Structures are given as structure tokens and as C-alpha cells.
Chains A and B, each alone.
Chain A
Amino acid sequence: MNLQVIGCSHHHSSVSVREKLAFTEDQVRSFLDKYHQSFPKSEAVLLATCNRTEFYAAGKSADGVPSSQQMIEFLADNRGLKTGDISNNLFAHQDRAAIAHLFSVAASLDSMVVGEAQILSQVKQAYQIAVDTGQQIPLTHLVFQTAMKVAKRVASETDIHTTRVSVPSVAVNVLTKQIFERLQDKRILILGAGKMAEETLTYIAATGGKDIVVTNRTRRRAEGLAEKFNGQIADWNDLDKQLIDADLIVSTTGATEPVVTHEQFKLVAQKRQEKTLLILDLAIPRDFDSKIGDYESVYLYTLDDLQKECEKNRQSRQSQWPKAQRIVEQETANFFQDVHRRNSGSTIALLKKQANNVKNSELERLLGRLDRLTPEQESEIEQSFHRLVNKLLHPPLKSINADQNSEAGGLLDAMKRLFQLGD
């Protein structure tokens, strides 16, 4: 098997380069169609996400698969770029390194946020698009199916996916779950309508939060956010009333002074009747007076508090990293052994077939020349030929079988060339 991958990711390439090499789904389909016209003897998959564009090409023999340079040229040409503009920003891997890279990507070990689950679905989607092009892709099928299996193994055998590292995900998936059993019946108040508010709401909605109220000084922005998450809009002047009813508050305004002061909250607290309140103050400068956190029923978390949790989770992930890496290395080795075993099986079959053909033709010729042989004598000669072939083939077959556990496959290639065995 020959596998090549070239591409760019957040590790090696700037956003400007990644933008130039970005693909929409339709563009990926069109790219693969053109590829199959140019390189009909090989298979291809294009993985395009916001953080990476990776171009995989595979083939049974090296002559059918484009070289790294050819792939870079094809990619640059497709994007209307000069090869020199992008070649310094791209990485290239071959065979074992390419397989190990794909496994790492699928297992989310190469992601910007290590352990994020989205990448696996993106890998699946890239593979599905390659299938949809209608081309035969047996090698790609094998490689990508294994990659998905590896990703699942890493997810189940390590905790790399369970710990959250972004502030909104930690806030919603870790912190709220320690206070609230469910978010479905909770009033969620969002102060501000910026990117942080939107990202946090995405996690809240995914966790089941439904009763969402958005309030912002600029009503128009609040409307956009509320509409996106089927929430309600509240007037900024009704803030106190909203504070009384809320169970969870996410505050992300760009205000330079606290939006809710201690004095203001005193009145709110009286009316809340000690109902538990979680405040996620994700704004800088802070929107809530820190004294508000002194109320027994109020849990006030600022960006700094959550950053600490994120950092702890990052460290936790780091501790899981070697374990995940070992799984990827193990699976890469297993993959090549498996491929080699399949190849050696077919080579052995070809070798036996070729030897039997020679034996049968020579036996036929000999028996034609010898007259008056009794059936017993004919059988004896046949068995003698059979034994001769078996004894001749035994040492090379034994060596091939012994070589099955190595992933190099050098002996197999030598055998094919030596006995002139086709694919």
C-alpha cells in the first residue's frame, strides 16, 4: 500500500494560508472529480475543516499514486495559487507516518482543542464524500475505517475527551452540572450578545437549556441571539426583574463598570428567597460586584475562576496524552501488520498456483512419454512431483509466514520480483 498526505493545519500554517486552502463541501466534490480524472489509478480523500486542509492519496503501487510534489501542485492549481506560495506552509507524510497522522487527527490528538469530538465527524464526512464520488476506494476504506476505530478506542480508554478546556464548555458542562441536576426547567439569563455569549449559549442549548432570556443594551443584537436559540428578549431596564427570576446568569457585556452592584443586588436577593443562583461572569472588566458572591445561595464565578479549572483540565489532558499516543502507535503497527498479512496471503496463493501449473505441465509431458505405466506407478510419480514442489516451496513460504509479523514487507516484494508474481 502507498499512502501520501499533504496539508496544512493550525500547527504549521497561519490563518491566511488556511483561508486560501479552505474548501466548501461542493468544492471538495469538484476537487475529487478532477483528481480522479488526473490520477485514475489512485484513491483520494480531502479533509477540510476550519483548522486544517489535508489531502490524502492512496494506491496499490507507487507508480499510480502522485508524489508529494505532484499533490502540492494539484492542490495549488485547484485553488488558483502558485506552488511556491503554499509549499513552505504544507506538511507531507508518507505511508506509516501518513497513517499515524490520520489516526492522530481522527482521535483528536492533533486538534487545536485536544479531545474535541467534532473532528471525528469531520473525518467521517470527508470519507463519505470520497465514497459518494463513485470511485472504488478499497484502500481508503480500510484506512479510514481503522482511523475511526482508533478514535473510538482512544475515547474509551483515555479521559482525553472527558475534560473540558474552553471557558464556556467548562462553565456549562462542568460547573452547572455540579449545581443543577438539569437545565431544562431553569431560567437562563444572558447579559450581552457577543461571541462569548453565543458560544456559551451553544453549550447551554446542547445541555437542554430552553428557557433562555437575552438582554443587551443594544436590543437589535439581543434579538439576533435570542432568535438563534429560540429565546426571549428582555428590556435592559427590566434587569432587576430578570435577576429575581433567573437560575443561571451568563454575563458577557463589554461594560466598563459593574452592571450589577452589591446595593442593587440586595433588593434582588430579598425577593429571590434564597433560591440557588449561579452567575458566570465572563466579562472583563467584571459585570457583577464580587460581594454578591458572599450570599449563601449565590455561586459567583468569574473568568479567572473558570480559567483555573480550564488549566487544570489541560494538565489532566496532558497526563492522558502519552496513553493516547501509545494507542495510536500500537494501532498503526497493527494496521501495517494486517495489511502485510493480507498481501502475503495473496502472494503465497499466487506462488502455489504458479508452482502447481509448472508441476502439472511437466507431469503431463512426462506421463505422455512413458507408456505402459500401471495406475500405481502413475500415482507414485504424481505424488513424487507433488512432494518435490512442496519441499521446494516450504522454505520460502515459511520465511514469508515468519515475516508476516514484521510490517516492512521487504521479503514479500523480493519474492514477487524473484518469482515474477503479478499483483
Chain B
Amino acid sequence: MEWLQKISITCFAASYLVVFGIELSRVFFQLDLRRYVRIGLTAAGLFAHTVFLAYHTQLSFNSQGIWLGSWFGWCLSGAWVLAAAYLWLSLRKPHSMIGMFLLPVVLLLVWFGQSFTGSAPFSPGRAKTVWNMVHGSSLLLGTVVVALGFVFGIMYLIQSRRLKQKRSGSFRLPSLEWLNTWAERTLFGSTLFLCGGFASGVALKMVQQSSISESANSVAGAGSIPWSDPVIWTSAVLFLWLLLATIVSVFYKPARRGRKVAYVVTISFLFLLLELVIVWQVGHGTDPQAFNTPRAAWRLNPNTAESISAHPINGKRQGPSRRLVVPPKPAARFSLRTGLRSIGLKPVLQTNGGNS
């Protein structure tokens, strides 16, 4: 199964990038063959993406017992769902240029993913709980659905503007009715998933605080929600916004018609981006003791007790053979090596002190 290791982010990112280029070329000229090339390349990219994710998820699970080991895995999983959605939409709406709007989101997620290759993994101890599983997967699906809603919303606004201005435009988009229906569905879907994510997150926090309090033989703060946590309150704001938008659109017809839904899903996406930035900045879900900063990944393998800096720079060491951990580079490359690193596995450089 060595070929599995050879599949890198470059394989599928390049496929998506070429498909995006093909989508853009539709603005300038028509070619029937292009459709098959586009679908074929997307399918190929998705296949490589699937294999890559499956392999690295397996590695992550074997090493830490968790599925999506870090933000790296989380972003790439989100990109995978969106790429699959693009393939499905390409087959359903072959004449519409949905990829022009959706593929940049996919590529951005892949790019974010690869730039997180050196960041801290999710805390293994916490990640193994059911609450964490529900929390992580709900937030992942919620993010994907919000991103989809954003794409549909933007397309709706462009299509509506073109029709109002009586311009047919140089590319085709789905009908307003279709875009409105799907934007509305994504609004409901994202509310549902983010509700699950928020509720499970709150439950998790309460359980965690309760156990800390018990261990400290104190009842103060046990079971209460820490509203001062920026992740908690921004999540609450996002969730309330979505809940309100959903309730209004269910009970008030005009709210789910026309551009309003498009605006709501677009604003939701911006809210979500803000939320994700905060979550990442505070290192939510990761183990702060293991990795305080991306640079903190400079460390020794736990099997060895000493730091590299404690030894002579020329590398001439005494004593038994030891393993040196190669630190991740700040600007990570698209490679299996960086992928391994991101999910907590440590590519090692084997040195033999006795022989050097």
C-alpha cells in the first residue's frame, strides 16, 4: 500500500485548480468536451482526496485514537465534503457555472489545511469522548453547509442583479427559484448542525469544569457555562443569529423569499469566519501543554528526555543512540511529511550518536 503514501495534497489541489480554470474558461468560449474533462478531473481529485484523508485519518486514529486529529484534518475534511457537493451539482446542473463560486472555497480550505500542518493537534484525551465526536462533526458539517449557503447566496444575488439589469451575462447560473430553495435549505441545515455543535460544546465544557471542580474538592463553578470564554459567546451569538433567521423565515413568508435569504446566509458565513478565527486564535480544542504555538513543535521525541540544544552543535554526542525530531517548517509544504506531522505523528531523523 505504498502508493497511498505517495498521494499528497498537491494531487487533489492541482485537480481542483485545473477544474476551476476550466470553469473560468467557460466564460470565454464553448466546448462540449470540456464538461467531461471537468467532471473527470473532479472525480479524480475527489478520489485522491478521499484516499489521502482515509490514510491520514487511519494514521491519526492509530496514533492518538481520534479521527480528525487537528485543524489540518478538519479543514481537509470540510474541503472534501464541498468538493463532493461540487461534483454532485456539476452532474445535476451541468450548464451552470457553480464551480466558479464553490471551488475557491474548496481551494481556500485546502490551503488553510496545509498551512495548519505544523499546528497543534486536538487534545487526544478530550477528543475520544462522545461529546467531542458530536461537537467536532456537527461543527464540521455546519461549517460546510454555511459555506454552501454562502455560495448559493452569492449566486442568487448575482443572478438577481443581472435579471434586474436585464443583462444575460457571459456565464450561466441556476435559476433564482433553485438558488432560493437551496439557500433556504442550507440555512435550516446550518442551524441544525451548529445547534448540535454548540449544545455539545456547552455540555462538554460543563462536564470538563465539573471534573476539574471535583478534583479540586470545590463546588464553585461546577456545571456552569463559562460565558467569558470568547469561543462560547461567539458561538452563542452565531447560533442565536441562525436560530432567529430560521424562526423568522419559517413563520414569516417574505423573509424566506428573494434576496433576504441570500443576505442571511452570506452574513452567517461572515459570522462563521469570525468564529473560526477566534476558535483558532485561542487554540480551542487543542492541547495547550503539548503545543503552545506552532513553533513549540520544536521538541524532542517523548522517548528522549533531553533537548537538542543541550548537546554540542556539531552533533558529536556520547552515549546511546537517540532520535532527533525534525521540527516542522513554519511554511509547510504540500507533502505527506507535513501531513504526518500535522496529525501528531513525528517524522524522525535517525541519528546514531555512537557512530557519528
Instruction: Give the B-binding residues of A (Cβ under 8 A).
Output: 159, 174, 177-182, 273-276, 293, 296-297, 299, 301, 305, 308-309, 312
Known contacts A276-B258, A312-B168, A181 near B253 by CB under 8 Å:
no
**A274 and B175 within 8 A (CB):** no
Confirm or deny: B125 has a beta carbon within 8 angstroms of a beta carbon on chain A. no
Chain B proximity of A162: nearest CB distance (Å): 9
**B175 and A178 within 8 A (CB):** yes
Q: How far, in whole Å, are A275 and B175 apart by their CA atoms in the complex?
A: 15
Confirm or deny: B259 has a beta carbon within 8 angstroms of a beta carbon on chain A. yes
Confirm or deny: B280 has a beta carbon within 8 angstroms of a beta carbon on chain A. no
- The contact sample of 13 A-B pairs, CB cut-off 8 A, is A174-B168, A178-B173, A181-B174, A181-B175, A273-B254, A273-B257, A274-B254, A275-B257, A276-B180, A276-B257, A301-B166, A305-B166, A312-B168
Name the residue on A nearest B179 (C-beta).
Answer: A181
**A179 and B163 within 8 A (CB):** yes
5 A-B pairs closest in CB distance: A274-B254, A181-B177, A274-B257, A181-B178, A273-B253
Query: Which of B177, B180, B258 has the most chain A CB atoms closer than 10 A to its own CB?
Result: B177
Which B residues are in CB contact (< 8 Å) with A312? 168
Known contacts A159-B30, A179-B163, A299-B164, A276 near B177 by CB under 8 Å:
yes
Q: How far, in whole Å, are A276 and B164 apart by their CA atoms in the complex?
A: 12
Q: How far, in whole Å, are A170 and B174 apart by their CA atoms in the complex?
A: 17
Confirm or deny: B159 has a beta carbon within 8 angstroms of a beta carbon on chain A. yes
From B175, B180, B181, B258, give the contact of A177 (CB < 8 A): B175
Q: How far, in whole Å, are A301 and B173 apart by their CA atoms in the complex?
A: 19
Given contacts A178-B159, A276-B177, 6 further A-B contacts (CB under 8 A): A159-B30, A179-B175, A180-B177, A181-B174, A274-B254, A308-B166
Q: How far, in whole Å, are A179 and B180 apart by their CA atoms in the complex?
A: 10
**A297 and B177 within 8 A (CB):** no
Q: How far, in whole Å, are A296 and B160 apart by their CA atoms in the complex?
A: 9
Interface SS of B by simple majority = helix
From B30, B166, B258, give the contact of A297 (CB < 8 A): B258
Q: How far, in whole Å, are A184 and B336 apart by their CA atoms in the complex?
A: 52
**A309 and B177 within 8 A (CB):** no
Confirm or deny: B176 has a beta carbon within 8 angstroms of a beta carbon on chain A. yes
In B76-113, the 8 Å CB interface with A consists of: none
Chain B proximity of A296: nearest CB distance (Å): 6
Chain B proximity of A184: nearest CB distance (Å): 12
Chain A proximity of B255: nearest CB distance (Å): 9
**A297 and B257 within 8 A (CB):** yes
Chain A proximity of B96: nearest CB distance (Å): 10
Query: Which of B174, B181, B254 has the most chain A CB atoms closer than 10 A to its own CB?
Result: B254
**B176 and A179 within 8 A (CB):** yes
Query: Which of A181, A182, A308 has the most chain B CB atoms closer than 10 A to its own CB?
Result: A181
**A296 and B259 within 8 A (CB):** yes
From B163, B173, B178, B254, give the contact of A299 (CB < 8 A): B163
Q: How far, in whole Å, are A276 and B254 apart by their CA atoms in the complex?
A: 10
Name the residue on A nearest B254 (C-beta).
Answer: A274
Chain B proximity of A398: nearest CB distance (Å): 41
Name the residue on B nearest A293 (C-beta).
Answer: B164
Q: How far, in whole Å, are A278 and B258 apart by their CA atoms in the complex?
A: 13
Chain A proximity of B31: nearest CB distance (Å): 11
From B177, B253, B257, give the contact of A179 (CB < 8 A): B177
Chain A proximity of B211: nearest CB distance (Å): 51
Q: How far, in whole Å, are A273 and B30 apart by their CA atoms in the complex?
A: 40
**A178 and B254 within 8 A (CB):** no
**B258 and A180 within 8 A (CB):** no
Name the residue on B nearest A294 (C-beta).
Answer: B164
Which B residues are in CB contact (< 8 Å) with A301? 166
Chain B proximity of A234: nearest CB distance (Å): 24
Which B residues are in CB contact (< 8 Å) with A299? 163-164
Which A residues are in CB contact (< 8 Å) with B260? 274
Q: How far, in whole Å, are A312 and B254 apart by their CA atoms in the complex?
A: 35
Chain A proximity of B199: nearest CB distance (Å): 33
Which B residues are in CB contact (< 8 Å) with A178? 159, 163, 173, 175-176
Which B residues are in CB contact (< 8 Å) with A297? 257-258
**B254 and A180 within 8 A (CB):** no
Q: How far, in whole Å, are A312 and B167 apart by their CA atoms in the complex?
A: 11
